[in-house]
Amino acid sequence: MGAPLSRRHFLIAGLAVPATAAIASSAQAQVVTVDRHTIFTEAATAYGVPASVLAAVSYAQTRWQHHEGTPSASLGYGPMHLIDGAAAQEARARADKPETTTLDTLGDAASAAGASPEAVRTDPETNIRAGAALLAALQRAAGGPTGTSTDPGTWYSAVAAASGLPSSQGQLDFADETMRVIRTGATVELGDGSSLTLPPRAISSTDTQRAPLARRASQAAGERRPSGPIDAPTGLDVEWIPAPYEQYGPAPGDYGNHDLARRPAAPTITHIVIHDTEGYWKTVLDLVQDPTYVSWQYSLRSSDGHIAQHLVPGDVGWHAGNWYLNMHSIGLEHEGFAAQGAPWFSEPMYRTSATLVRYLARKYGIPMDRAHIIGHDQIPGVTTANIPGMHWDPGPFWDWEHYFELMGAPLNRGTATRPVKVGDVVRIVPGFVGNKQPVTGCEAGKPASCGDKDTNFVTLRRSPAADAPLVNDIGLHQKGQPASTEVSDISARATAGTEFVVAELAGDWTAIWYLGLKAWFHNPAARPTARVVVRPPKVARPKAGRATVPVYGRCYPEASAYTNPADVQPVLPLIYAVPAGQAYVVSDEAPPTDYYKAKTFSLATPGDHIDIVGKDPYVQVSLGHRVAFMRVADIDVD
């Protein structure tokens, strides 16, 4: 594994990765084999746990990250995500929340290791030792064999119980994932080019231990889940909590909170939109069941990845702030807050969300890329006036690279790290763990409140220098405000997985065409933050002879497509314009040109609930942080 690392060095670099830390004292990147590292081997030996089991449990819980001692939404601490059950119950009592079962894995682990709860919360090494002690205690209680050389498969029941998840389904999913990690191995790429890795191990069958837990999970799901048209893969913990389709006033349009449709027949389903709730689980469920509010298809709980489905994908939810994208998308709301990130964006939630999205993408023929599985922060305004009010969730702390790895569609697939040339198409892949970009204002009135968080983007500047001004978004800042590093200001961010055309090169800096501008980001050859797309997609340029061409936030039909002139929707360009000489990646060559008219509650209303299809073709492009559309009549595509 290369030169030995000091214990403290590994803890900082491997589990938190501050901006100034490197995983090795030399400039050369290293591969750290986690289950052979002193921190894990000493803890495993002390308590008779296979090091691979200990490392895999930590990976499945936190991907070996300490999060600087910050607890998760379920009050899980450290790289082993040990849950402070006593504090969780006290917090629920203070908030007057319903009583739920909480496992106190932190208290149990501290007792088993003879450590103080405070040390388990704050010191990563103590946290790992306590996790090992807990696993050993649970293994002995289950009558299983202990020892560092025991078969990892025999630890299935202990791993399930150590998860800290109160539900049988949650424990089952966690144990399955941990065993998968042991079988296949796991890797976390760090910001300096180094990596933490767990090699694959052979294990025995877990069927005998798994069967009773699976029966309990199935029984609990049957008891809890009301009947409903669940659309999800078998084995996911999903319940049906319907969003109401109700008329609440006398006017035909006084209804909510979604529209009935016949998707994917009409309209088609082309996108999946990732949101965060900006609210707590109970509040979110209350809102989606309010006919006067808005709706989305699925909600996901932070603590355990539990899913509630509210709409069948065939109906149109009101979630994106853009009717065209509502018509063509499925919305997933994840419990959490964009300005906080990791405490809420938990591993169980990432895993269940990725499993659900992979299923939906395959079922409805949605490309598994960052042009079709998008954040709410990529939804364009329908008009220029709407742009400043568009949302920015899930924000800079959502790990898109890990999310797509879980889907089986890693964002580096189809790319290479060869030297970049002008005209290349590059995909932004900066790595999440250790990617420290300037972000401020995570707490109101506190500019320095974001801490040292990992981020999912590269910062864009007007010239190739670290102190150059930020690229500005004239649509977001229509009153002349400058771009900023505020957590909600997405002006100068190129996010993981998005693709752009290279405009210029200068040393370790690369310029791309972005919002009609030339935007520079740091892209050193030794540690690239963007990779060349090997089989580049088509690109759109202004048609020959045109000085500039417009872009749009939706693909609405031409006026002649409407039978009723009163239904005609305006086709309005956005404030941005693409000048001659620039090029933008075409992420969809044939987005549907249509308008789904749904203005009244009754399906029997003549001329309503119809999909009006036009003939004026568009392409979808990666314009900047948000997607946009260009008319084929205005561009040359090559």
Predicted TM-score of the model (pTM): 0.93
Q: Does domain 238-541 have CATH number 3.40.80.10?
A: yes
What backbone phi and psi angles, to 5 degrees, belong to 205? -65, 140
Mention every residue, 6+ apart, whose C-beta is less than 8 A from residue 280: 335
Residue type at 192 in one-letter notation:
D
Pairing of strands 329-334, 298-300: parallel
Digit-coded pLDDT (tens) for 593-610: 999 999 999 988 999 999
Residue 380 and residue 626 in contact, taking contact as beta carbons nearer than 8 Å: yes
Residue 58 and residue 64 in contact, taking contact as beta carbons nearer than 8 Å: yes
Digit-coded pLDDT (tens) for 351-408: 999 999 999 999 999 999 999 999 999 999 999 999 999 999 999 999 999 999 999 9
Residue 455 and residue 439 in contact, taking contact as beta carbons nearer than 8 Å: yes
Distance CA 120, CA 110 (A): 7
Residue 173 and residue 352 in contact, taking contact as beta carbons nearer than 8 Å: yes
Q: What pLDDT does residue 613 have?
A: 98
* Helix count and strand count (H, E) for the chain: 14, 32
Average pLDDT over residues 328-357: 96
Q: Which helix (H) or strand (E) holds 401?
A: helix 400-406
pLDDT tier, 619 (very low <50, low <70, confident <90, very high otherwise)? very high
Distance CA 232, CA 471 (A): 41
CB atoms inside a 10 Å sphere around CB 606:
7
Distance CA 489, CA 472 (A): 10
Beta strands (DSSP E) in 268-325 are 271-276, 298-300, 307-309, 316-317
Q: What pLDDT does residue 16 have?
A: 36
Distance CA 90, CA 76 (A): 15
Residue 37 DSSP symbol: S
Outline where 2-153 has alpha helix (H). Answer: 7-15, 38-47, 51-62, 85-95, 105-113, 117-122, 124-141
Q: Give the orientation angle of helix 168-184 with respect to helix 347-364, to 10 degrees.
A: 80
At 300 the three-state DSSP class reads: strand
Distance CA 281, CA 288 (A): 11
Residue with tokens 């998308």: 329
- Residue length of the chain: 638
Q: Whose CA is closest to 89, among 166, 175, 168?
A: 166
Residue 15 DSSP symbol: H
pLDDT tier, 5 (very low <50, low <70, confident <90, very high otherwise)? very low
Q: Whose CA is closest to 115, among 429, 107, 432?
A: 107
Q: Taking the domain 7-219, which CATH number applies? A: 1.10.530
- Decide if pLDDT at 17 tops 60: no
Digit-coded pLDDT (tens) for 510-532: 999 999 999 999 999 989 999 99
Average pLDDT over residues 465-494: 97
Distance CA 215, CA 207 (A): 12
CB atoms inside a 10 Å sphere around CB 373:
28
Mean pLDDT lowest for which of 1-5, 164-168, 189-193, 534-538? 1-5
Digit-coded pLDDT (tens) for 167-196: 898 899 999 999 999 999 999 988 777 889
- In the predicted model, what is the mean pLDDT of the chain? 91
pLDDT tier, 225 (very low <50, low <70, confident <90, very high otherwise)? low
Cα separation of the two ends of the chain: 46
pLDDT tier, 27 (very low <50, low <70, confident <90, very high otherwise)? very low
Q: What pLDDT does residue 100 have?
A: 57
Q: What pLDDT does residue 101 have?
A: 64
Q: What pLDDT does residue 490 have?
A: 97
At 131 the three-state DSSP class reads: helix
Distance CA 405, CA 453 (A): 21
Residue 253 and residue 305 in contact, taking contact as beta carbons nearer than 8 Å: no
**Chain centroid to CA 248: how far?**
35
Task: Identify which has the larger pLDDT, 592 or 97.
Answer: 592
Distance CA 398, CA 129 (A): 29
CB atoms inside a 10 Å sphere around CB 3:
9
Where are the domains positioned within the chain?
A: 7-219, 238-541, 542-637
Q: What pLDDT does residue 8 have?
A: 36
Mention every residue, 6+ apart, whose C-beta is less than 8 A from residue 286: none
